[in-house]
Structure 1
Amino acid sequence: MDASHAFKRPSRCRPIRAVLRILFCSGLLIGSGWGQPAPVQQEKLRDFDAVTLQLPYTHQFQFAGYYAAIEKGFYAQEGLVVNLREVTRGETPIDAVTSGRAQYGVAGSELVVERLRGRPVVALAAIFQHSPYVVISDARKKIRHPLDLLGKRVMMELNQRDVEIMAMFRKLGADIGRMQVKRNSWNVDDLIEGRTDAMCAYITDKPFALKKRGVAVSILKPDQYGIDFYGDCLFTSENERQMNPARVEAFLRASLRGWRYAMEQPDEVIAMIRDKYGAQTYGLTEEDLRFEADEMRKLIMPDLIPVGQMHPERWQHIAETFVELKLASRPYTLNGFLFWSKEKEPEDRWLYWLRAALFATVLVALVVILWNLQLRRQVEKRTHQLKRQNEAIQREAEALRQAEERLKASEAKFRRIYDANIMGMFYASATGHIQEANDAFLKLLGFTREDLDNGLVESMVFSDPEWHPLQPFALNEIEERGVCTPYEKDLLCRNGTRVPTIVTAAVVGPEDKSVIAIVQDISEKRRLIEEQMKTSKLEAVGVLAGGIAHDFNNLLTPILGNLSLARNTSDNTPGMDGFLQLAEKACWRARDLTQQLLTFARGGAPVKKAAVLPDLIRDSTLFALHGSNVRAQFEIDDHLATVEADQGQLSQVLQNLVINAVHAMPQGGVIRVRAHNVDKIEHWQIPSVTGKHVCIEVADSGTGISPENLKRIFDPYFTTKAHGHGLGLATSFSIIRRHDGHIGVTSQLGKGSTFSLFLPISRNVTPKEQAEPAAPKSSGKGGRVLIMDDEADIRQLVSDILEHSGFEVEASANGAETVRLYREAKESGKPFGAVILDLTVPGGMGGAETLQALRKYDPSVKAIVCSGYSNDPIMAEYEKHHFKAAVRKPFSFDEITATVAKVMTA
């Protein structure tokens, strides 16, 4: 549009031009008077005074206003030459200004703390209306609340630079001492590479640096938790204000003018920083500077608030916050902390007021004329601004609400952890009086929540020094170190019993001297220790029992052997043979007793042989019932299968079950003993097992067993009787398991119990073999046997038995002699067909060592192991040790001759 057209718009332009003419003329008149003070001020400034502005960091958009004031000549117009001084290691802007190395500086709200501590600093302007200082972390760490930082690694300074961050932590009760504080490197690589969990940073640059690296950021802002301070305040010293007030005003005017320009022309200032202030030197790109400019605009709020505005009330609130958080103390005063620009009055007061009134009149006229023209624009702009401000307030309110909800959720979470803890916990005062306890602690001592509330717990437990969980030495240790060493303490229960516990306690915090204690029940631990002691005693008994059993078996061997020999070599009358048979049977009982003693005390692998169960079941049952008022009723299958078993151990199991049945029927009665074949095991205590087994049941009609005790009936040391050791059923369980069998029990209170044994049927014995009569005895003609035993009586007995059976026998007392005799016989052409070796020979080679020596000479040697240590592993698994058979001491005439004949003919 050209000029001619422009002057054809009369309605709006003419009044504006008229007003402008009036305003111009009035300005000349007013300026003649108001312009006079300026020269007076300039007279106080030397031509181009040189001053230094201390920056807290290196060059970046954070100081854009000062760059603009220099480059656009605003400082020069005020007669100032300003030198910008970047951060110096180990020196803060406050240090530089108060020491005189700089006249002006930039710092955060820590200014007020330093003022309250007596340092002569004066605030000139608050450039940031909100502090840019925040705590950032990798979003994957899930740090959403300051309390989430407890126990984490945090990079911060712990000095005035981090004062608002520390204020946030203290307000929320987050103990900095519980964080792993590290010196701040200001390098986001420490976050990315996991060397720290969080770090203090400026919101204007670090989040963007992480975003460029592809890292999502979680930000904690102090203003979300009620700590809303100023940021990047321009300040000077008390000395500068007193000595150069005009220079202070000039510097402030030019600086604020520069900041307004920087907010209006950010792109120009970005180019200025890039080209003249070495942004690239610090690794800053144009993209970095633009992000910083956008974020700073949110903090400066130039569209809503005049740049640099400060409110005394807000500074007062900031000071009160520091006092409440014990970062400063009362009494205090902020007099002289804030700087206010003071214009000088003209000498002629009345002329000053006249000119002021004239200027005000012109200004009002201008406002009235322009009002209608700009009303819509202002309303729309203000509405937009208010909408943005309202949205910001709503976001802050929502953030605060979410923070409160997180705090409540965190408190509820810790409360649930406290209440749900399986170990007892309680709070007590510093003097030891209980204040709170969780359900586990109350349950441990038999109290209820009502007992705690009405003081019964306090009166019974915490008022008596003897039963108090926190002993005096523990309270003293807590007072000195904050925590006590765990110690054992028996506590008094509500019913008067005692419960053994381990107690440990610590103070809640440095300010709260209350004590939190953890109480752990160690009843089971003590029981296990006692059982371990019992086990150790049993092991000692086992060692003794093994020696006794071996010696006793050696004593029985000549007795039983000679009885058997007498029955087989004499023409005895029927009466005499009966007497010999009874004596022989008593010897077998004696051997069984030694075997039971060994099994009870030490266990041992079973020496399995094909067992004829009907006789074993009857004999074991009747033996256990001897002398009692209980009789047995047998139901044994006529075609009961054969099993591979250690008859001595199996007899012990049956006797244990029968004795238990007798104890369950103190008034007498009948026990039913049943034995039959089954194709599948079906029992509630035993997993389903297929395969043929022999089932032996022992049933009584006694008192029965409760469901609670059924679960523990086979546990070691468990017993429901006033006497007894609780090992009978545990030993029986162990024996049956070593036979690859199963044992279970069913019971009903008042009706009785039934114990069931399941043993796998032997695969090596067919039903036909079971029914066939025993093979005829071998005469032994032509067979040569070598015997080794350290007992002369036993050597003589075995020699007599085998010679009576037609064998040719030689005997030796030790391994070396045995090897010599075997070698000589073989070399002479009269080799031994079998060798009987005693397992243990004091002071010489035993059976196993002697066999190794014989095998080196003759790998085909046929050896039989013989020992009174019936539970020795070699006796149970003799084939693994290259023996052809095993014979337990004592043995009968038929047993030793049949074994030798079988080995020699194999």
Structure 2
Amino acid sequence: MDYVHCIVLSACMRNLIQFVFTCFIIISTCFYVAAQPQERINLQLKWYHQFQFAGYYAAHIKKFYEKEGLDVHFIEGGDQKSVLREVTQGHADFGITGSDILYNYIEGSPVVVTSVIFQHSPYTFMTLKKSGIRSPLNLYKRKVMASGDQGWFLLRSLFFREGIPPDSIKLMKHSWNNQDLIDEKVDAISAYSTVEPFQLKKKGYEVYLISPRDYGLDFYGDLIFTSKRYAENNADVVEAFNRASIKGWEYALAHKEEMITYILGLPGVKERNITREHLEFEANETENLIYSNLVEIGHINTGRFQNMLDMYKELKIVPASASIDGLVFEKKEINWEKISYTIILIAVFVAALFSVIFIWNRRLVKIVNKKTKELKDEVENRKIAEEIARQNELKLKLAIKGANIGLWEWDVYTQEFTISKQWCFLLGLDFFSLPIRKNIFDFIHPQDIPILKKSLKTNFAGIRRLSMHQLRLLNSNGDEIHVLISFRVIKTEVKKGRKLYGVVVNIDNIKKQESSLLQLSEELMHSNKELKKFAYITSHNLRAPVVNIVALMSMFEKKELTENNVQIFEKLDASVTKLNDTLNDLIEIVSNSRKDLPKLDTVNFKCVFEDICRSINLEIERINPSIILDFKTQDFKYTRSYLESIFLNMLTNAIKYRDKERKLTIHISTYEDDRYVYLKVSDNGIGMDLKKNGQRLFELYQRFEPSIQGKGIGLFLVKSQVESLSGKLFVNSELGVGTTFTIAFLKEL
């Protein structure tokens, strides 16, 4: 009775303490919440009412703002209203804008970003599909309609990334009227991917979107900001507004249809011919931009703002000293001094309660553990052991059956050979009528018997314990079956007695697939050779007519043409020249790839280098670089023309991409190890950003400095030539420091 009484009394005491503590917390919380007044907040929207702002509507109608002590009022935006000006002048407390706020901040606007909602920018260039405009390069000297404060910096960065001068684009002020694109008054317009594409599709027009994200520019989209003064004076309100807004967006994305119905009832929505279908499209596209399945809503990555700033610096639209420090709102630290007295009281109260509980329970735990431990441990351990054994047995049976594995056992002394049902099924035998005594060699293909006998001899001699072989068995019809046989030899009590325990796995399908893959590989290699031959013939056949056209156009007298025809002639001349250059590049690339078995000679690094220097002597004398040579390895077996091409491209690249602020220095050295001969070429040029461009460095037609003349095929050819003879190419580069190329030539060719 004392034991039971202790347990019951302990449980009552514990429940009573928990109830008192819970009531204390609830009353304190209610008193704190009830004491907070409602804070009026004016939120300036970026545009007219649409699903773009569904999260804020949800936070309002679901009382998320109210629970945070906020009374939020929405101010509708438009094409004539500046969100930045409304917030900085105090007409609104918070605003919704895009990543262009970074430029405004650098220019001196006192703003602070509090949350990022759209992890990806919706800004894109929209063109009519029939126009054929598919990439930024197609916009060269085209009419583009965009707004200076609506994603223009992102779109301008796209032109810079693709090497298109901004002044080559005919920029027109945005009319916010899609009809201008339909009427072909402009060739492209900046648009919101969540709205305008659907509007044109509903009118029957097919459109094409040129998204900066497809070209490596991933700026932020919609974000929440406030003025610096407001954030400093109302940090608690900023945090409360963020929390409620994020909850609102989580609710809106989970209840799209409910929010669409609400938005359709807002003033002016139906008057702008916005339908449920429009809003459903916008809702789905908005969810993709928010990216909530991978990134927490509201998350800010300062590294992405830094990347945007670096791009602005490259565009030279902000000073080199510009910084993002202070742009992102920092949560205020809890002022423990204000609540220290309350914490001390609660700590003393809780400590007293837990002291009583600890002393009381310590005695009870000892009693209970002593009475129950032995019995509980015994029962639990027995159950666990039985369950593990049952599961292991079931898993083993399922594994053997599912893997199509046969088991076998052979007593060499008694010549008794037994096999499992799975083995019989594999060979098409009747398990129940199978003779007990049967030699294992009766199942093996005659040509593979020597392999097994040799392995048995080795195992009986004690050299090996576990053996595995690919053999062929003969089924009941005499057909071959490829199997993998594994066995272990065990000594028995009988003198010189041996027993073999093993498994057999059917790999017949794998062998058949292997044969099919080999045949397919040969067919693909043949097709590849034919395609190379076709490309070579086609490029050579096209070159003669193009050369003739170039010659004829050089003989043409442009003075006899009208001004309009002169412009047409110049465009035609530029197109023919571009085609001729492309054919020359193609011939060079195809010619290089057609050398199936390049001739190998003993080549001397220094001799080849001096020959190349003589071929570009004028360029070297003009630049007058400092060239330092260290040929520890002099001669090796290689294709001379390949080595000449490598030296030529390495030297000309070092000259083209030199730093004009200092004298060019080129270090060239060779060395070797047991397997490779290495050529190392280093310079102190302008260097490269390998994090940004490393993946595309050796691709065809890749150029990363638009201001420097080049074709973008040199490194492609070098990599192709090196790898065609089983070599390797490595690059290490740093902006403003220089570049080092290391080439490893395989010795045994």
**What TM-score do you get using the length of structure 2 for normalisation?**
0.44
**What TM-score do you get using the length of structure 1 for normalisation?**
0.37
**Which one has the largest radius of gyration?**
1
